């Protein structure tokens, strides 16, 4: 099994009246991928981080194997979800993948 953890820092322009909508859209778009991509076992998105955090959103995904993870990275559903919900709003991305 492979686990991926991603931490996103949102762009400053997001911190206004639309912040809740932006975070909710990211969470919904990504969690909707559950059960849609072969080898993807689970996705969970946390949008309410403590004020001591250096990131704004945490993404956790579990895959059957490293090959399943690689397939997920280039899968059209993932690319579509991230294109509209994440790319326009994220300033920095930190990620780590590891075997469980």
Residue-wise DSSP of 27-57:
HHHHHTTTTTSTTEEEEEEE----TT-S-SE
Please, which pLDDT band fits residue 53 given cuts at 50, 70 and 90? Answer: very high
Mean pLDDT of the 60-84 span: 97
Q: Beta partners for 26?
A: none
pLDDT of residue 23: 96
Compute the mean pLDDT over every residue in the chain, rounded to the nearest whole number: 96
pLDDT of residue 71: 98
Mean pLDDT of the 80-99 span: 96
């Amino acid at each position: 099994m492979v686990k991926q953890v991603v931490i996103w820092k949102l762009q400053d322009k997001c911190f206004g009246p639309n912040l809740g909508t932006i975070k909710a859209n990211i969470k919904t778009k990504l969690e909707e991928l559950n059960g849609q991509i072969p080898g993807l076992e689970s996705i969970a998105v946390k949008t309410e981080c403590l004020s001591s955090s250096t990131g704004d959103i945490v993404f956790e995904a579990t895959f059957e194997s490293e090959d399943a993870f690689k397939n997920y990275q280039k899968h059209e559903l993932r690319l579509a979800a991230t294109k509209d919900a994440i790319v326009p709003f994220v300033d920095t991305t930190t990620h780590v993948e590891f075997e469980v």
